[in-house]
Amino acid sequence: MDGSTFGKFEDPAVTASGEDRATVALRDPQTLWFNTGTLCNITCANCYIESSPSNDALVYLTADEVSDYLAQLRDRRWSVREIAFTGGEPFMNPQMIEMARRPLEAGYKVLILTNAMRPMMRPKVQAGIEALVAEHEGRLTFRVSLDHHAAEVHDRERGAGAHARTVEGVDWLQSIGARLAVAGRIEMAESEAEARAGYAALFEARGWAIDALDPGRTVLFPEMDERAEVPEITTRCWSILGKSPREVMCSSSRMVVKRKGAERPAVLACTLLPYDRQFELGVTLEEAERPVALNHPHCAKFCVLGGASCSA
């Protein structure tokens, strides 16, 4: 495969070396994501979506817009089991509690990604969360962003005191019986084994009911650097790597966003590429059923390779 950067990730149909680019079909949709807006209470050093207290490139979704897509799920007979919310910081959105309530009442599992800091800890929001946890025990999960188990490492990414404020939020979620998960960054750790050991020690010390060895409950993500040198994924790569397109995220999920100034939300192929318009599939779930060309470095590094090489 072509190892140079020249001409790569330009043509959605072919790679720089002239081979057929790999595509992924929506085969078994399991998760529908909603980006609640890019506003966040903090500015991180390396936020892939550039969330901050001033970035409103993706504006707040409403509960009624979420309900519209839940109706589309039923009409299209998608096999989605989970509705997930990300941001920005979801609890900045004034309708977050209602947005979570509606899919829970419709029978879906719900996942909320949060930094568990001040927006979540406002009394009115806490009251709403307590009610949801009490009414829908076991079907609502909070995945808390904790980049590293050590405060000094985490705070280099998110600002002084961020680790302590997040820990306080998780302590509160644990106290009300919420189902918890944590998301960290593998590049910030010495090794994955050492990272999981560090998280395990933190969880035990705080009394958090999270399994540090379960990759679904302690999720360690690679850093998403669009400038990283990665090979393009061709149709040959599936057999070379021994992988299936079914293992790639866009075969089982889509994300709804609302761009600033847009009349309606749009459906994206990928949660990791909110600004790249080639991954915007339309405004309806029906339009979003078409295949996705793996025409971005994230497709290779994050979703397909995961540290592997697809050179023959």
pLDDT digits (tens, 9 = 90+) for 98-127: 999 999 999 999 999 999 999 999 999 999
Parallel, antiparallel or unpaired: strands 82-86 and 218-221: unpaired
3-class DSSP state for residue 1?
coil
Name the band, by pLDDT with cuts 50, 70 and 90, for residue 185: confident
On whether the CB atoms of residues 162 and 145 are closer than 8 A, the answer is no
pLDDT digits (tens, 9 = 90+) for 3-35: 444 589 999 999 999 999 999 999 999 999 999
User: Please, which residues bridge with residue 32 across strands?
Assistant: 83, 254
As a whole number, mean pLDDT of residues 123-135 equals 98
The pLDDT assigned to 5 comes to 46
CA 125 to the chain's CA centroid: 22
263-277 in b/e burial notation, b at 16+ Cβ within 10 A? Answer: eebbbbbbbbbbebe
Closest by Cα among 137, 139, 163, 161 to 150 = 163
What residue spans define the domains of the chain? 28-227+246-293
3-class DSSP state for residue 35?
strand
| Predicted model pTM | 0.93
CA 155 to the chain's CA centroid: 21
Name the band, by pLDDT with cuts 50, 70 and 90, for residue 302: confident
**% of the chain with per-residue pLDDT over 70:** 93
The pLDDT assigned to 312 comes to 35
Per-chain mean pLDDT for the chain: 92
- Asked whether residue 308 carries a pLDDT value surpassing 70, the answer given is no
Q: Is 207 left (phi over 0), alpha (psi -120 to 50) or beta?
A: left
DSSP label at 120? G
Distance CA 279, CA 89 (A): 22
Domain topology for 28-227+246-293: TIM Barrel (3.20.20)
Distance CA 42, CA 118 (A): 10
For residues 163 and 300, the model is more confident at 163
